[in-house]
Amino acid sequence: MVSLDEATFDDVKYIVLYKYLCGSFPLQWDLVCDRNYLMESSQTVFNGGIMFGALVFTSLSDMYGRKSIHLMCQWLLVVVGFATAFSPNFTFFAVFRFLGGALREVVTFSASRLHP
Q: Are residues 44 and 68 in the same domain?
A: yes
| 76-111 pLDDT per residue, tens | 999 999 998 888 888 898 999 999 999 988 888 766
Q: Are residues 44 and 101 in the same domain?
A: yes
Q: Are residues 72 and 100 in the same domain?
A: yes
| Mean pLDDT of the region 53-80 | 88
Separation of alpha carbons 23 and 61, rounded Å:
41
| pLDDT band at 8; cut points 50, 70, 90 | low
Q: Are residues 56 and 13 in the same domain?
A: no
Q: Which pLDDT belongs to residue 31?
A: 57
Q: Are residues 12 and 22 in the same domain?
A: yes
Q: Are residues 65 and 90 in the same domain?
A: yes
If one compares 97 and 65, the residue with the highest pLDDT of the two is 97
If one compares 38 and 84, the residue with the highest pLDDT of the two is 84
pTM comes to: 0.70
Is the pLDDT at 114 greater than 80, yes or no? no
| 65 Ramachandran zone, left/alpha/beta (phi>0; psi -120 to 50) | left
What torsion do the CA atoms of 92, 88, 76, 39 make, to the nearest 10 degrees?
A: -60
Q: Are residues 108 and 66 in the same domain?
A: yes
Q: Are residues 13 and 42 in the same domain?
A: no
The domain containing residue 5 runs over which residues? 1-35
Q: Are residues 42 and 86 in the same domain?
A: yes
Is the pLDDT at 41 greater than 90, yes or no? no
If one compares 62 and 14, the residue with the highest pLDDT of the two is 62
Q: Are residues 10 and 58 in the same domain?
A: no
Structural domain tally of the chain?
A: 2
If one compares 12 and 66, the residue with the highest pLDDT of the two is 66
How many C-beta atoms surround the C-beta of residue 112 within 10 A? 9
DSSP SS3 for 115: coil
